[in-house]
């Protein structure tokens, strides 16, 4: 049976059973597996937090988010080393970067894998300041306070960066961040992003 036929049947079944679906509990987040399954099937937009379709994310940002979410749990080996075989792969998405804090390597890698590389030549960045400076020059910077972030936006602090997964009902911002407690982690920040300076809109 062709994939398109399978997708049509799935959509038909989903429509038939939709009224019976119970909303997920408050704070529930769709599993990374469900996001991957949707991505493999080519459906868009991906489902965001609490099973609600993600709103407003750019295609490039949503692709980067999906890729980043699959890496949650990747950790430094040994802890505190800023390195591991997988982190070395993230580092390769940046030009001339050595072993060191790797949050910018991680978002550079996710963006490159999604087909929306960071930098004028797609070179990626090893420093958060360089990501923000490029975003401002390229018209991709959204200052904090200019409105809520979109899923797939990069969230930028003075010395750290991650990817917005979604905005929770209370306004809190859920993220996926590299080099957070020595690993790729999900975090929840207050509505200000805990002092984020702004967001970078990919795509």
Domain ranges of the chain: 50-200
pLDDT score at 97: 87
What is the structure's pLDDT at 35?
A: 40
- Pick 72 or 147 by higher pLDDT: 72
What mean pLDDT comes out for the span 152-175?
97
| Residue 39 confidence class, pLDDT cut points 50, 70, 90 | very low
Note the pLDDT tens digit of each residue in 10-29: 555 555 554 433 333 333 33
Q: Are 89 and 105 in contact (CB under 8 A)?
A: no
pTM of the model: 0.75
- Tell me the mean pLDDT in the region 125-147: 96
Q: Identify the pLDDT of residue 96.
A: 81
Separation in Å, CA 61 to CA 13, 36, 75, 147, 150:
29, 15, 23, 17, 9
Residue 89 has pLDDT above 90, yes or no: yes
CA 10 to chain centre: 27
pLDDT of residue 13: 54
| pLDDT value of residue 5 | 59
- Give Dmax over CA atoms of the chain in angstroms: 54
Give the model's confidence band at 8: pLDDT under 50 very low, under 70 low, under 90 confident, else very high: low
Look up the CATH number of domain 50-200. 3.90.1720.10
Rg (CA), the chain: 17
């Amino acid at each position: 049976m062709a994939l398109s036929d399978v997708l049509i049947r799935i959509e038909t079944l989903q429509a038939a059973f939709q009224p019976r679906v119970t909303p997920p509990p408050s704070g529930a987040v769709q599993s990374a597996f469900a996001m991957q399954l949707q991505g493999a099937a080519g459906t868009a937009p991906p489902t965001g937090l609490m099973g609600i379709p993600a709103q407003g994310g750019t295609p490039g940002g949503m692709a980067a988010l999906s890729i980043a979410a699959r890496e949650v749990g990747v950790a430094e080996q040994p802890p505190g080393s800023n390195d591991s075989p997988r982190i070395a792969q993230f580092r390769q998405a940046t030009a001339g970067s050595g072993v060191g804090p790797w949050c910018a390597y991680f978002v550079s890698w996710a963006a490159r894998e999604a087909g929306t590389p960071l930098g004028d030549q797609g070179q990626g960045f090893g420093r958060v300041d360089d990501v923000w400076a490029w975003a401002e020059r390229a018209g991709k910077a959204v200052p904090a306070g200019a409105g809520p972030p979109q899923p797939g936006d990069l969230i930028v602090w003075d010395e750290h960066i991650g990817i917005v997964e979604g905005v929770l009902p209370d306004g809190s911002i859920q993220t996926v961040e590299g080099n957070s407690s020595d690993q790729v982690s999900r975090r929840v920040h207050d509505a200000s992003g805990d002092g984020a300076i702004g967001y970078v809109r990919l795509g």
